[in-house]
Chain A
Amino acid sequence: KQEVTQIPAALSVPEGENLVLNCSFTDSAIYNLQWFRQDPGKGLTSLLLIQSSQREQTSGRLNASLDKSSGRSTLYIAASQPGDSATYLCAVIWSGGSNYKLTFGKGTLLTVNP
Protein backbone atom coordinates (compact mmCIF):
# COMPACT_ATOMS: atom_id res chain seq x y z
CA LYS A 1 0.00 0.00 0.00
CA GLN A 2 1.29 3.46 -0.86
CA GLU A 3 1.55 5.51 2.31
CA VAL A 4 3.12 8.73 3.53
CA THR A 5 4.34 9.02 7.11
CA GLN A 6 5.43 12.11 9.01
CA ILE A 7 7.42 12.03 12.20
CA PRO A 8 7.19 13.58 14.72
CA ALA A 9 3.48 14.29 15.02
CA ALA A 10 4.26 17.39 17.05
CA LEU A 11 7.36 19.49 17.65
CA SER A 12 7.97 22.44 19.93
CA VAL A 13 11.11 24.59 19.58
CA PRO A 14 12.36 27.95 20.84
CA GLU A 15 12.44 30.87 18.44
CA GLY A 16 15.59 31.09 16.33
CA GLU A 17 16.26 27.38 16.22
CA ASN A 18 16.87 25.54 12.97
CA LEU A 19 14.69 22.47 12.57
CA VAL A 20 13.97 19.54 10.31
CA LEU A 21 10.63 17.92 9.58
CA ASN A 22 10.63 14.40 8.21
CA CYS A 23 8.48 12.67 5.61
CA SER A 24 8.79 9.08 4.42
CA PHE A 25 6.94 7.26 1.66
CA THR A 26 6.59 3.57 0.94
CA ASP A 27 6.98 3.55 -2.86
CA SER A 28 9.95 5.27 -4.50
CA ALA A 29 8.12 5.61 -7.84
CA ILE A 30 6.87 9.11 -7.19
CA TYR A 31 5.92 11.79 -9.70
CA ASN A 32 6.45 14.70 -7.35
CA LEU A 33 6.26 15.69 -3.69
CA GLN A 34 4.76 18.81 -2.17
CA TRP A 35 5.14 20.40 1.25
CA PHE A 36 2.25 22.46 2.61
CA ARG A 37 1.49 24.41 5.74
CA GLN A 38 -1.96 24.65 7.26
CA ASP A 39 -2.96 27.20 9.86
CA PRO A 40 -5.86 26.31 12.19
CA GLY A 41 -9.21 26.50 10.40
CA LYS A 42 -7.59 27.45 7.11
CA GLY A 43 -6.80 25.86 3.78
CA LEU A 44 -3.37 24.66 2.68
CA THR A 45 -0.56 26.88 1.50
CA SER A 46 1.87 25.29 -0.95
CA LEU A 47 5.44 25.76 0.28
CA LEU A 48 7.64 23.77 -2.05
CA LEU A 49 7.22 21.31 -4.90
CA ILE A 50 9.98 18.83 -5.70
CA GLN A 51 9.71 16.98 -8.96
CA SER A 52 10.92 13.41 -9.29
CA SER A 53 14.10 14.44 -11.11
CA GLN A 54 15.07 17.03 -8.48
CA ARG A 55 16.90 16.56 -5.21
CA GLU A 56 16.01 19.79 -3.44
CA GLN A 57 14.14 23.06 -3.64
CA THR A 58 14.63 26.26 -1.69
CA SER A 59 12.38 29.19 -0.89
CA GLY A 60 13.58 31.77 1.59
CA ARG A 61 14.24 30.08 4.94
CA LEU A 62 12.81 26.79 3.70
CA ASN A 63 14.72 23.98 2.03
CA ALA A 64 13.17 20.68 1.01
CA SER A 65 15.17 17.65 -0.03
CA LEU A 66 14.14 14.46 -1.77
CA ASP A 67 15.83 11.06 -1.66
CA LYS A 68 13.72 8.64 -3.65
CA SER A 69 15.97 5.64 -3.08
CA SER A 70 15.46 5.83 0.68
CA GLY A 71 11.86 7.03 0.41
CA ARG A 72 12.47 10.21 2.37
CA SER A 73 12.00 13.95 2.16
CA THR A 74 12.95 16.58 4.71
CA LEU A 75 11.81 20.14 5.19
CA TYR A 76 14.45 22.33 6.79
CA ILE A 77 13.36 25.58 8.40
CA ALA A 78 16.13 28.00 9.27
CA ALA A 79 15.95 30.55 12.08
CA SER A 80 12.43 29.60 13.09
CA GLN A 81 9.93 32.32 14.06
CA PRO A 82 6.65 32.20 16.02
CA GLY A 83 4.84 32.85 12.72
CA ASP A 84 6.11 29.51 11.48
CA SER A 85 3.81 27.77 13.96
CA ALA A 86 1.40 25.65 11.92
CA THR A 87 0.79 22.09 10.77
CA TYR A 88 3.16 21.02 8.02
CA LEU A 89 1.92 18.42 5.57
CA CYS A 90 3.88 16.31 3.12
CA ALA A 91 2.06 14.90 0.08
CA VAL A 92 3.10 12.64 -2.77
CA ILE A 93 1.83 12.04 -6.29
CA TRP A 94 2.73 8.49 -7.30
CA SER A 95 3.87 7.68 -10.82
CA GLY A 96 1.46 5.72 -12.96
CA GLY A 97 -1.62 6.90 -11.13
CA SER A 98 -4.53 8.68 -12.71
CA ASN A 99 -5.46 12.31 -12.24
CA TYR A 100 -2.28 13.06 -10.29
CA LYS A 101 -3.91 12.55 -6.87
CA LEU A 102 -2.04 13.61 -3.74
CA THR A 103 -1.52 11.20 -0.85
CA PHE A 104 -1.02 13.09 2.40
CA GLY A 105 0.84 12.32 5.57
CA LYS A 106 -0.88 13.15 8.85
CA GLY A 107 1.26 16.21 9.37
CA THR A 108 3.63 17.64 11.97
CA LEU A 109 2.25 20.28 14.31
CA LEU A 110 5.04 22.81 14.82
CA THR A 111 5.04 25.30 17.68
CA VAL A 112 7.75 27.96 17.78
CA ASN A 113 7.91 29.58 21.19
CA PRO A 114 8.95 33.23 21.52
Chain B
Amino acid sequence: GAVVSQHPSRVICKSGTSVKIECRSLDFQATTMFWYRQFPKQSLMLMATSNEGSKATYEQGVEKDKFLINHASLTLSTLTVTSAHPEDSSFYICSARVAPPNEQFFGPGTRLTVL
Protein backbone atom coordinates (compact mmCIF):
# COMPACT_ATOMS: atom_id res chain seq x y z
CA GLY B 1 0.00 0.00 0.00
CA ALA B 2 0.85 3.68 -0.17
CA VAL B 3 3.22 5.09 2.44
CA VAL B 4 2.57 8.15 4.59
CA SER B 5 5.18 9.59 6.94
CA GLN B 6 4.89 12.02 9.83
CA HIS B 7 7.54 14.13 11.49
CA PRO B 8 8.30 14.39 14.31
CA SER B 9 7.12 11.16 15.90
CA ARG B 10 7.26 12.67 19.34
CA VAL B 11 7.54 16.22 20.63
CA ILE B 12 7.62 17.74 24.09
CA CYS B 13 7.20 21.49 24.39
CA LYS B 14 6.52 24.18 26.92
CA SER B 15 3.12 25.78 27.26
CA GLY B 16 2.72 28.77 24.94
CA THR B 17 5.00 27.56 22.18
CA SER B 18 3.93 26.54 18.67
CA VAL B 19 4.55 23.10 17.23
CA LYS B 20 4.55 22.10 13.56
CA ILE B 21 3.82 18.54 12.45
CA GLU B 22 4.51 17.41 8.88
CA CYS B 23 2.61 14.77 6.94
CA ARG B 24 4.07 13.47 3.67
CA SER B 25 2.83 11.02 1.08
CA LEU B 26 6.04 9.28 0.00
CA ASP B 27 5.10 7.37 -3.13
CA PHE B 28 1.93 9.02 -4.38
CA GLN B 29 0.31 12.41 -4.74
CA ALA B 30 -2.57 13.29 -2.46
CA THR B 31 -4.93 16.13 -3.24
CA THR B 32 -6.65 15.50 0.08
CA MET B 33 -5.14 14.80 3.49
CA PHE B 34 -6.88 14.52 6.83
CA TRP B 35 -5.79 15.38 10.36
CA TYR B 36 -7.06 13.45 13.38
CA ARG B 37 -6.39 13.48 17.09
CA GLN B 38 -6.75 10.52 19.38
CA PHE B 39 -7.05 10.48 23.15
CA PRO B 40 -6.01 7.42 25.17
CA LYS B 41 -8.26 4.42 24.63
CA GLN B 42 -10.53 6.36 22.29
CA SER B 43 -11.11 6.29 18.56
CA LEU B 44 -9.90 8.87 16.10
CA MET B 45 -11.54 12.28 15.96
CA LEU B 46 -11.37 14.09 12.63
CA MET B 47 -10.08 17.62 13.07
CA ALA B 48 -9.90 18.92 9.52
CA THR B 49 -9.70 18.08 5.84
CA SER B 50 -6.75 19.54 3.98
CA ASN B 51 -7.06 20.12 0.24
CA GLU B 52 -4.04 21.02 -1.85
CA GLY B 53 -4.05 24.66 -2.85
CA SER B 54 -7.10 25.66 -0.84
CA LYS B 55 -8.13 26.39 2.71
CA ALA B 56 -8.68 23.51 5.07
CA THR B 57 -12.17 22.51 6.14
CA TYR B 58 -12.44 22.22 9.91
CA GLU B 59 -14.84 20.02 11.85
CA GLN B 60 -17.28 21.59 14.25
CA GLY B 61 -15.65 22.60 17.50
CA VAL B 62 -12.09 22.67 16.14
CA GLU B 63 -10.47 26.10 16.40
CA LYS B 64 -9.00 27.02 13.03
CA ASP B 65 -6.81 29.74 14.53
CA LYS B 66 -5.30 27.29 16.96
CA PHE B 67 -4.75 24.42 14.57
CA LEU B 68 -3.30 25.91 11.39
CA ILE B 69 -3.24 23.62 8.39
CA ASN B 70 -1.29 24.19 5.20
CA HIS B 71 -1.32 21.90 2.16
CA ALA B 72 1.06 23.64 -0.21
CA SER B 73 1.98 20.66 -2.36
CA LEU B 74 0.53 17.33 -3.46
CA THR B 75 2.80 15.46 -1.06
CA LEU B 76 2.94 17.64 2.05
CA SER B 77 0.46 18.92 4.60
CA THR B 78 1.42 20.58 7.87
CA LEU B 79 -0.46 21.05 11.13
CA THR B 80 0.73 23.82 13.43
CA VAL B 81 -0.56 23.84 16.99
CA THR B 82 -0.27 27.48 18.01
CA SER B 83 0.25 28.59 21.61
CA ALA B 84 0.03 25.02 22.80
CA HIS B 85 -1.40 24.24 26.23
CA PRO B 86 -1.41 21.02 28.26
CA GLU B 87 -4.94 20.18 27.07
CA ASP B 88 -3.56 20.02 23.51
CA SER B 89 -1.45 17.03 24.51
CA SER B 90 -2.61 14.17 22.36
CA PHE B 91 -1.74 11.76 19.58
CA TYR B 92 -2.08 13.46 16.18
CA ILE B 93 -2.43 11.29 13.09
CA CYS B 94 -2.66 12.29 9.45
CA SER B 95 -3.95 10.35 6.48
CA ALA B 96 -3.83 10.78 2.72
CA ARG B 97 -6.52 9.82 0.28
CA VAL B 98 -5.79 7.83 -2.87
CA ALA B 99 -8.48 8.43 -5.46
CA PRO B 100 -9.93 6.25 -6.81
CA PRO B 101 -10.98 4.16 -4.88
CA ASN B 102 -10.71 6.81 -2.14
CA GLU B 103 -8.77 4.56 0.19
CA GLN B 104 -7.04 6.33 3.06
CA PHE B 105 -3.52 5.57 4.25
CA PHE B 106 -2.37 6.74 7.64
CA GLY B 107 0.87 8.08 9.00
CA PRO B 108 2.50 6.64 12.13
CA GLY B 109 1.27 9.49 14.34
CA THR B 110 2.89 12.24 16.41
CA ARG B 111 2.76 12.20 20.20
CA LEU B 112 2.54 15.80 21.48
CA THR B 113 3.15 16.51 25.15
CA VAL B 114 2.75 20.09 26.35
CA LEU B 115 4.25 20.80 29.76
Contacts and interface: CB of A to CB of B under 8 A. Distances in A.
Interface of A: 31-32, 34, 36, 41-46, 49, 51, 89, 91, 93, 98-102, 104-107
A46 B107 CA distance: 11
A98 to B, nearest CB: 8
Contacts of B25: none
B101 A51 contact: yes
Contacts of A106: 42-43
B60 interface: no
Interface residues on B, range: 20 to 34
Name the residue among B6, B51, B93 with the largest chain A CB count within 10 angstroms. Answer: B93
Contacts, number: 58
Interface of B: 1, 4, 6, 32, 34, 42-44, 46, 49, 51, 57, 91, 93, 95, 97, 99, 101-109, 111
Given A101-B34, A101-B46, A106-B43, A44 B93 contact: yes
A41 B101 contact: no
B27 to A, nearest CB: 14
Contacts of B6: 43
Name the residue among B6, B43, B108, B111 with the largest chain A CB count within 10 angstroms. Answer: B43
Given A43-B109, A44-B93, 19 more contacts: A32-B101, A32-B102, A42-B108, A43-B106, A44-B44, A44-B106, A45-B106, A46-B103, A46-B106, A91-B104, A98-B57, A99-B49, A101-B34, A101-B46, A102-B34, A102-B46, A102-B95, A104-B44, A107-B43
